[in-house]
Amino acid sequence: MTNEADARADSPVVDVVVPTNRVSPYLESALASVVAQTYANWRLVVVDDGSGRGDELERIVDRVDGARILHRENGGAAAARNTGIADGTGEVVAFLDDDDVWPPGRLEELVRALERDRGAVGAFGDGVDIDDRGVAFDSWHTPQATSAEYLRGAVPIPRITTLAVRRSAFDDAGTFDEAFGLSQDTEFTLRLLRHGRLVSTGTVLVEYRRHERNATAADWRRRHAAGSRAIRVNRADAESRGAAHHVDALRRNARMLDRAYASWSAGRVIGLLKQRKVREAAADVRDSMRLSPRGVLAGAASTLASKLRTRARRPGADA
């Protein structure tokens, strides 16, 4: 929907793309958060990625005035997002998952950030984690940094759940790689950063719902493999273009990713041992050591220090 009465004549249209392969119990809340935006110049398309329940989805989407639904065979989130991108003509594209919620000022803040920085290819912000009841339990911040800092892993890259991209950027960087399942958003964002800079609003732009069906709940080995592949694909493309500075940055990023996963895995070994999951703990140690011995040592030391601090704070610890 584009609310012509409220939209400024010169304000850019934002295409909101919602991919789904199911009838999410949270979809109505997600769509309602688009309707509640203070920025009125948006168009909404829901892409049914082979849910097999198209009639139910249509009934939900039809409740949003002017919203469109596109049906396609299942091809994954990347293919669904690409279908939504291709269907629109707006100057800006934003992405909403079918279980997340947007604060009312999200689109307005993203558009204003892009208007302030005409050279930026996209804008992003921060988020809060909510549970299946919509109750916030954590938050996260992605700092403003240069593309080089993001590419080499010095700073975590902006999350797709907060991102808005200029349509013109897709002409240069391309759309989502449909060969990816996990980490298709990481691969795209790294590629986008190789073509331009991203600007932060410095504000919370999404309530990210965590539940058992999240892709982020996948086994850490699968997540590491997918993240490594995203970096590797970008590095190969950078090499083919002769972009040595990007190749070097992405090589450093891959080492940092190995170290981070090794550290995290090593840190959970104590918990596994407490649960008497000896084989799983041994497998974590083995696989973590293969990734990064330094990461294992760092993770073990950090976990031990945390345990000692917790024990020291307990009542009667000094008795």
pLDDT at 78 over 70: yes
Euclidean distance between CA atoms 127 and 205, whole angstroms: 6
The model's pLDDT over 221-262, given as tens digits with 9 standing for 90+, comes to 999 999 999 999 999 999 999 999 999 999 999 999 999 999
pLDDT at 2 over 60: no
pLDDT at 9 over 90: no
What is the model's pLDDT at position 65? 94
Across the chain, what does the average pLDDT equal?
Answer: 92
What is the model's pLDDT at position 146? 98
Query: Which amino acid would we find at residue 137?
Result: F
- Token pair listed for 97: 């998952």
CB atoms closer than 10 angstroms to residue 145: 18
- Please report, for residues 124, 182, 187, 237, 306, the alpha-carbon distance to residue 230 in angstroms, rounded to integers and kept in the order given: 20, 9, 4, 11, 32
Name residues whose C-beta falls within 8 Å of residue 234's C-beta, 6 or more positions apart in sequence: 187, 190, 191, 194, 246, 250
- Token pair listed for 22: 């199911």
What is the model's pLDDT at position 4? 43
Name residues whose C-beta falls within 8 Å of residue 285's C-beta, 6 or more positions apart in sequence: 266, 269, 296
What is the model's pLDDT at position 270? 80
Q: What's the pTM?
A: 0.90
The model's pLDDT over 257-310, given as tens digits with 9 standing for 90+, comes to 999 999 999 888 888 888 989 999 999 999 999 999 999 998 888 877 776 777
- Regarding predicted confidence, which is higher, 31 or 301? 31
Contact 161, 97 (CB under 8 A): yes
What is the model's pLDDT at position 79? 98
pLDDT at 54 over 60: yes
What is the model's pLDDT at position 168? 97
The model's pLDDT over 105-126, given as tens digits with 9 standing for 90+, comes to 999 999 999 999 999 999 999 9
Q: Does domain 14-213 have CATH number 3.30.470.10?
A: no
What is the model's pLDDT at position 86? 98
- Token pair listed for 48: 């049914």
- Regarding predicted confidence, which is higher, 212 or 14? 14
pLDDT at 217 over 60: no
The model's pLDDT over 144-166, given as tens digits with 9 standing for 90+, comes to 999 999 999 999 999 999 999 99
